[in-house]
């Protein structure tokens, strides 16, 4: 009798193990099917079905792709890559190389910025006053032209070279102070950068006043100062400097060195 009960108990145990195994297998298959269904649902979601916040988290700001410093880097951040940076150049005939305007330092700067940032990233305007004196520019339409160009960056060549020998440096700087004050009032957010005109041969007074008075003026009025004279030949080296000048204005070589410095300054490399 005991043997019969023992055999029955063993049979029941075996049946229990078999039943449990099949139940566990069925459960695993159910879980696998459910997981497959979830994967299919996720893969079928189109990108445009994501809400705006999710899309934004995957976007890369255009400016973050460009490693640029200086005032150009600042304005790239301000614009967010959505609209071009507006650059205006304001000054004497030294802004333009008459033999070939495409070789003017202003054109070279613009071309280099377009090359590095993309053609659609920069718009440029040149407001050239020729040989007009600062006192005449003060009461002319040139200032209105600058304001109408609405620049983000304004590169100004003060008219010390135009005024040299006619208007004293103090009066020349006083006139430019008034011109720039008018511009600042109308364009309070514009970044104004001063850059001297070209150096000259046999003009010690002009050279000294530019290197001292103009630099001090820029500091006092809190304007950035792109001093391209740093990479010109010294005025004391007449033979070498002559190669960069043509009738008291920059030669092609002069425009090249001027433009090279201004590009580096605007991009934060100087």
CATH number, domain containing residue 206? 3.40.50.1110
Clarify whether residues 256 and 238 are in a common domain.
yes
* Full residue range of the structural domain in which residue 213 is found: 65-266
Q: If you compute the radius of gyration of the chain from its CA atoms, what whole number of angstroms results?
A: 36
Clarify whether residues 18 and 99 are in a common domain.
no
Clarify whether residues 26 and 141 are in a common domain.
no
Token representation of residue 176: 């430019």
| pTM for the predicted model, two decimal places | 0.75
Which pLDDT value is given to residue 119? 82
Clarify whether residues 144 and 28 are in a common domain.
no
Clarify whether residues 37 and 95 are in a common domain.
no
35, part of any domain: yes
Which pLDDT value is given to residue 263? 97
Which pLDDT value is given to residue 270? 79
The band of 120, judged by pLDDT with boundaries at 50, 70 and 90, is confident
251, part of any domain: yes
80, part of any domain: yes
Domain count within the chain = 2
The band of 180, judged by pLDDT with boundaries at 50, 70 and 90, is very high
Edge-to-edge strand list for the sheet holding 224-225: 122-128, 85-91, 153-156, 191-194, 224-225
Residue 246 gets the label, from left (phi > 0), alpha (psi -120 to 50) or beta, of beta
What does the pLDDT average to over 216-236?
A: 95
Clarify whether residues 108 and 242 are in a common domain.
yes
Bridge partners (DSSP) of residue 124 are 87
Mean pLDDT in the chain?
81
Clarify whether residues 139 and 9 are in a common domain.
no
Which pLDDT value is given to residue 90? 98
47, part of any domain: yes
Clarify whether residues 19 and 149 are in a common domain.
no
Q: Is a pLDDT exceeding 90 seen at residue 30?
A: no
60, part of any domain: no
């Amino acid at each position: 009798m005991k043997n019969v009960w023992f055999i029955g108990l063993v049979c029941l145990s075996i049946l229990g193990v078999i039943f449990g195994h099949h139940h566990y297998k069925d459960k695993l298959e159910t879980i696998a099917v459910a997981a497959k269904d979830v994967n299919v649902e996720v893969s079928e979601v189109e990108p445009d079905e994501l809400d705006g916040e999710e899309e934004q988290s995957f976007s890369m700001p255009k400016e973050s792709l460009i490693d640029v410093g200086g005032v150009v880097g600042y304005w790239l951040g301000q614009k967010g890559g959505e609209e071009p940076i507006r650059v205006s150049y304001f000054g004497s005939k030294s802004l333009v190389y008459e033999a070939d305007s495409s070789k003017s330092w202003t054109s070279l700067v613009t071309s280099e910025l377009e090359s590095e940032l993309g053609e659609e990233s920069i718009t440029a305007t040149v407001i050239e006053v020729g040989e007009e004196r600062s006192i005449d520019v003060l009461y002319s339409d040139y200032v209105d032209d600058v304001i109408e160009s609405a620049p983000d960056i304004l590169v100004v060549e003060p008219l010390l070279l135009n005024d040299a020998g006619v208007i004293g440096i103090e009066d020349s700087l006083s006139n430019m102070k008034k011109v720039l004050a008018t511009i600042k009032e109308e364009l309070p957010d514009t970044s104004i950068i001063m850059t001297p005109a070209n150096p000259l041969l046999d003009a010690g007074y002009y050279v000294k006043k530019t290197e001292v008075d103009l630099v001090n003026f820029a500091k006092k009025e809190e304007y950035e100062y792109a001093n391209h004279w740093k990479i010109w030949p010294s005025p004391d080296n007449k033979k070498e400097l002559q190669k960069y000048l043509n009738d008291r204005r920059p030669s092609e070589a002069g425009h090249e060195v001027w433009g090279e410095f201004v590009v580096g300054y605007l991009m934060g490399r100087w």
